[in-house]
Amino acid sequence: MKIILSLVLTILLINCSGNNMKPIDFKDQKPRLIIEEYLSGNVKAWGILQNRSGKVTRQFSADLNGKWDGKQLVLDEKFIWNDEEIQTRQWKIDKIDDHNYEGTAGDVVGKAKGYSYGPAFKFEYVLLVPVKGKEMKITFDDWIFMQDERVAINRATMTKFGIKVAELTVMFVKD
């Protein structure tokens, strides 16, 4: 029993100690990603989903269309997975100030928190993910890094009980 408990604690410590990167670390870097400007209009995306051991389990393409009214970004997303599943989501993202955002979507539990500095945008939220006919709450640690005025790269780590269950890598290209 002590061995099992030690093993579980070690795994939890390794997973919890991971990434100490903070959005403010990027405050002086360029180009500046202003998420409501970048995601306004049409954006295309392509991505891969990897399980916790790194194996690519799914691929997708996506069409994003955003509308910014000066206070809120409404972002419609349509994902087409390689197994022909189609998923849609509509985000409503409110700009709180120059660096802080809050967002909601139909399959997001509570509010997403967003942080923007330099070329980086971090979005933290809990998503209801369908798994074998049930909805599972998965925590997303989502980072978008602007490369230039058209291209951004997204990396999301998905966890359950603090343990990594999957990673998502996405490339965005603005029309």
The reported pLDDT for the residue numbered 20 is 85
Inside any domain, residue 155: yes
**Mean pLDDT lowest among 75-89, 92-106, 126-140, 141-155:** 126-140
Most confident of 12-16, 132-136, 152-156: 152-156
Inside any domain, residue 13: no
- Strands 86-95 and 151-160: what pairing? unpaired
Inside any domain, residue 3: no
Inside any domain, residue 15: no
Phi, psi of 69 (to 5 degrees): -105, 10
H or E segment and range at residue 36: helix 35-38
Give 97: exposed, middle or buried? Use CB within 10 Å, 0-12, 13-18, 19+: exposed
Domain containing residue 157: 22-174
CATH of residue 62's domain is: 2.40.128.20
pTM of the complete model beyond 0.95: no
**pLDDT band, very low/low/confident/very high, at 4 (cuts 50, 70, 90):** low
Inside any domain, residue 7: no
Per-residue pLDDT tens over the stretch 84-123 = 999 999 999 999 999 999 999 999 999 999 999 999 999 9
Domain count, the chain: 1
How much is the average pLDDT of 169-174? 98
Q: How far apart are CA 36 and CA 14, in angstroms?
A: 35
Inside any domain, residue 5: no
Inside any domain, residue 9: no
